[in-house]
A and B are shown apart, each in its own frame.
Chain A
């Protein structure tokens, strides 16, 4: 398993001579008691079920214990999400648990700028004192919280903690989800019933590697089906990833034109009558031309498609064959239960919101909403509701729209800007299990801002870039050492709740972030304490779960997936029998670790379409209203049409008038000089932020491109030929902001004029194996925003490649299908 060879030991600062017990006892945190057991114990085996906490995917795990010491991890075959499968990062869970460089105890920045040891007592006292001072001065809204914990259960607790202080500044840094808000009126992304779909059209999303739940997607599309009925995949994108290689049709398009391709498909569906007329008539708004309240004729989506998105034009935009668009459209029209999904490039650009709207429009045209194998709303988890707290006086600094954007801001950029400009000062910032300094294109500015915030508290398991910039660094237990309450992951069609007690006691002096918040609440007293009345995090969880227990909904997953489903029907059928008490439910749930509710009540249109019209809006009235509002600002007496035009212009849109309010192709912004577009992608080995603390994950990081322990730059063969680069050459990837080194890999199927670089490597912060390994493409990205959501683009930066060193002749030959250019 973890075998630190010479290098690894060197990286840990452990000399070769110190490889004895003493030298490593500090580096690896396995308590002596457990070592003793492992070497001399009876070897008694046991298994416990838990939930993987390394990404937001919520896979079920079975941990193998020998004499109480975890020695193996596998997927829980009964878990409805992953059904036994597990990704490489999840499988590395033990390497993360026992990893070198884990934070051993609380740290505080000393006078010299270095971190030195402190105690929990002192650290919590310090935070509580500052919070008390802030609330006493009525400056509770100067507290902010960036959370990397995906669980709704934890999020509720964190929100209460902040509300108790009078602050609304809580962000999870996840996707904006704005497209759903504009077209469906819902804040939370809906679920996609991959298990029931016979065809998935994926725009940019590497379905089996990336996205919120790749292992669930694999299980639903392939793992749970007989070989004759595997889910079909059509991929539209800029790179043939391993998961895209499973597609029956792969449409290679220019970057930033995925939305256009979707509209080209929509055009063909409409022109050839391959769309669901009944659904469109009954449940959508703005398909045909319509007349507004003022009697003005407005453009309908149908006419927009027919006039503007005919295959020849779309093919010219996308750089593909027009026949391909028609072929995909016809395949889609012929499918019984198709669904379209977006991710990757499609949600990272400056036109991300429109691209997602275009993809969702395909779901509306095919009537995929509320249909098995389509877009559905998972039933809510009936948790015990919490008594409402008074809303904080100031709106969240993460929610306010900026001047240049219509609806939102990039949370990292907003935080940094507010602090640096002094427009929205933050006195105390808590960062939990997330590393925005590393992962955001605005990381540099955030780092500057962190230096200006009087108190930055990082709750983390490892010293990462964000923690390194914090004043107080408080260790959190890794997922195997903490109470977990995981709620339905984004995009899943049914509800799940994972609840698991710690598998082992914390190996370091770490405390559960929930307990830290509760303890702070106690120390603050008053409203803050009243908002958090629980003795500890499990007590809080238990109270929330009580509602679920009493509701009688869903069931605890005990047998295999199929058994559990049958048992579910046998026991309850469609009737819900209330369970009378929590104790036995709690016991079973903590043992089996997962609950699910696959029952969907169909026809609940109110939950799917919460727009003013109660329909899916091809023409977003909400977007229209906002554009008009922007256009009318300071310009009294302008007509609605003028205001709309002015609002669009203010956001710098190319589309004019009604088109701006509908899914359309808005050209992707490009920033900086260079012949290539830098496109990041997330390989499966880069899931979550802690994977890179595992030697195995780093060693297999680029397994698809023969690139262990390094960052590679994928080029299309023709692009490499033009630049006179060959497979294995070392290059410098340069933008106007900075540069990094990478190894060229020629990819047989990538869009010309692009360079694809994996996310996840390039850490600077010492303390983990990942330090100094590879490069972080986000670090050289130039700022460009989606004018609607305000999110920073990751696909807008132009770069240049400069040859540093040819592949040495004696080295291994190129093996990735690349020809020597």
Chain B
């Protein structure tokens, strides 16, 4: 296990590939070994490519637009630490329960959330935006001290009706450095590399 990127244990690609591998193995029963290998490679490769392009699937189809647009909520109403903390955090049932201790609509998705809240089980949200393990990134430094809006790095998440499955803005070192340069902040490596 490398920590070049402190990613969560099992990325979906491998999991999908595993399923495909097993089913293709069953289908290849009795066929020539070489053909089986070719088929396997094809299926495996296809599965990987397909999985890589596919956005992450969130456990609940959360509607940002509804909350931010219609209900006029702020990002920090739920992402509690985006301004005052180092990590913004993805809200979980403790936060959701403030409004969703019982269903306010007939949405199937909300019903599932209320079930989570009722059972005390945590919603297994998938994290979309991440910086590599060797990067020190502090939210409060950028939001509170730097006065940067959430959208600058996260894109128009607030307008998304569908659950966010992939980053709307691709976070890269180049992205960081350009912004630092434009706003006159030092690009000294040590400022971000740890």
Contact = CB atoms under 8 A, between A and B. Distances in A.
Interface of A: 19-21, 36, 39-44
B1 A42 contact: no
**6 closest pairs, A vs B, by CB?**
A42-B89, A43-B87, A42-B81, A43-B86, A42-B85, A42-B87
B90 A44 contact: no
A42 B9 contact: no
B20 interface: no
B80 interface: yes
Interface of B: 1, 8-9, 80-81, 85-90, 122, 127
Nearest to B138: A43
B125 to A, nearest CB: 9
A45 to B, nearest CB: 9
A40 B1 contact: no
Contacts of B1: 19-20
A43 B88 CA distance: 9
A19 B9 CA distance: 12
B90 A43 contact: no
Given A19-B1, A20-B1, A21-B9, A40 B90 contact: yes
Nearest to B81: A42
A44 B9 contact: no
Nearest to B122: A36
Given A19-B1, A20-B1, A41 B87 contact: yes
Nearest to A20: B1
Given A19-B1, A20-B1, A41 B89 contact: yes
22 contacts: A19-B1, A20-B1, A20-B9, A21-B9, A39-B8, A40-B89, A40-B90, A40-B127, A41-B87, A41-B89, A42-B80, A42-B81, A42-B85, A42-B86, A42-B87, A42-B88, A42-B89, A43-B85, A43-B86, A43-B87, A44-B81, A44-B85
Contacts of B86: 42-43
A39 to B, nearest CB: 8
A20 B81 CA distance: 31
**Residue from B80, B89, B90 whose CB has the most chain A CB atoms within 10 Å:** B89
A735 to B, nearest CB: 47
Contacts of A20: 1, 9
B12 to A, nearest CB: 17
Given A41-B87, A44-B85, 9 more contacts: A19-B1, A20-B9, A21-B9, A39-B8, A40-B127, A41-B89, A42-B80, A42-B89, A43-B81
Nearest to A36: B122
A316 B80 CA distance: 77
Contacts of A39: 8
Contacts of B9: 20-21
A41 B80 CA distance: 11
A19 B1 CA distance: 8
**Residue from B1, B80, B87 whose CB has the most chain A CB atoms within 10 Å:** B87
A40 B92 CA distance: 10
A43 B90 CA distance: 12
A43 B137 CA distance: 12
Contacts of B89: 40-42
Contacts of A44: 81, 85
Nearest to B88: A42
A36 B85 CA distance: 18
Contacts of A41: 87, 89
A19 B89 CA distance: 28
Nearest to A44: B85
**Residue from A20, A41, A43 whose CB has the most chain B CB atoms within 10 Å:** A43
Nearest to B82: A42
Contacts of B122: 36
Contacts of B85: 42-44
A44 B127 CA distance: 19
B15 to A, nearest CB: 15
Nearest to B92: A40
